[in-house]
A and B are shown apart, each in its own frame.
Chain A
């Protein structure tokens, strides 16, 4: 969806404001929101689902609230949508002793496949499609319709546009794509500067001849 979260290229927010000696968390409730959000995935869905829940915040509320308020809004939304309050008790309970191993292992987005046949190779010219899906996507607006070049083939990765809607992982080739700053931002951008995004194959098409 074309939401307020897709901020790349806006210039209306003023200077970057830094906090000296910023703590990891500012308040006790931030710690708890972080922990609950991180460890409720078994009932509420994987990371793509959580991101999309945040993206569906009212845009004015999104801009007026802090980061962990976004997380709180996301987790509240998912708990309501999944009817967690009416759900049966979980069959398995995540225990403190499991945490270090879970953090060390992580959750890989790569899905190895014997049938991995990326359409593009390093150096190929590509165009980011002009797609405007109403659901979750990781194709930022600022790159749509722009021409770039494959900088690396990253592997076969879970496709967030379907995973966020619990419609399957549908892994596909993921590429690092280089765009020149001028292609994205016009002739006033420095000639040599560039920007790299990781884009899935179905976001890309061949340039027009």
Chain B
């Protein structure tokens, strides 16, 4: 409930960003809690949904669905060429083979990073994101700097994630403007040749499946 909020990582030479300094003091938080309680009481009181159902959907996205799902998809694709071909041809169907799909991932597309192509995913209009494979998005994905800038200056944004791309690498930005949901298949890093599928899943990061960093050798 009261996670520390002081983990922000600013670029060292960047001024504080007024749009991101949105932490609430105790009084403001109490006001938000009161508004939320009012709307929850209304929908429960009108019989739309039970409190237990509200608890359950929170539990699903806090504990059951997360980027480990996507990591398993990536590891399978790295170790099974036929699966990878199916994954790139029909993301939804191939991801369903591993048991994943559903809400905010009804129409999944997987795009492959290679030596010559680097894909990166955004939703400029809101926060569309492939929930069944990555869980709920991190704040930076939903905040103004990423949404606004990654379409016009993707290389600068990627550099902030430590990703420096050669000029001859084609950057492809995928703006999730409809109900299609995108996941990046990162390149398998060197030095992983002998690793099992399960071990490979352990080195795949959420951010690599959004397409912001490349994966480093373990």
Question: When the two chains form their complex, are residues A16 and B157 in contact, meaning their CB atoms are under 8 A apart?
Answer: yes
Question: When the two chains form their complex, are residues B144 and A102 in contact, meaning their CB atoms are under 8 A apart?
Answer: no
CB distance from B169 to the nearest CB of A (A): 8
The reply on A69 being an interface residue by CB < 8 A is yes
Docked pose: A200 CA to B100 CA in angstroms: 27
Docked pose: A16 CA to B155 CA in angstroms: 13
Number of interface residues of B (CB under 8 A): 89
Chain B residues near A43 (CB, 8 Å)?
43, 46, 48
The reply on A106 being an interface residue by CB < 8 A is yes
A13 contact from B19, B35, B177, Cβ within 8 A: B19
CB distance from A66 to the nearest CB of B (A): 5
The reply on B125 being an interface residue by CB < 8 A is yes
Chain B residues near A85 (CB, 8 Å)?
42
In the complex, identify which listed stretch (B53-61, B68-76, B189-197) lies at the interface while the others stay far away: B53-61
Docked pose: A154 CA to B148 CA in angstroms: 25
Number of interface residues of A (CB under 8 A): 93
Question: When the two chains form their complex, are residues A66 and B22 in contact, meaning their CB atoms are under 8 A apart?
Answer: yes
Chain B residues near A65 (CB, 8 Å)?
22
CB distance from B175 to the nearest CB of A (A): 5
Q: Which partner residue on chain A sits nearest B146 by CB separation? A: A16
The reply on B50 being an interface residue by CB < 8 A is yes
The reply on B171 being an interface residue by CB < 8 A is yes
Q: Which partner residue on chain B sits nearest A109 by CB separation? A: B179
The reply on B186 being an interface residue by CB < 8 A is no
Question: When the two chains form their complex, are residues A154 and B178 in contact, meaning their CB atoms are under 8 A apart?
Answer: yes
Chain A residues near B211 (CB, 8 Å)?
none
Docked pose: A38 CA to B35 CA in angstroms: 17
Question: When the two chains form their complex, are residues B48 and A39 in contact, meaning their CB atoms are under 8 A apart?
Answer: yes
Docked pose: A21 CA to B206 CA in angstroms: 12
18 pairs, CB–CB < 8 Å, chain A vs chain B: A7-B148, A14-B20, A15-B10, A15-B160, A16-B157, A17-B140, A18-B9, A18-B140, A32-B40, A90-B46, A95-B52, A95-B53, A103-B60, A104-B103, A105-B102, A107-B106, A157-B179, A174-B180
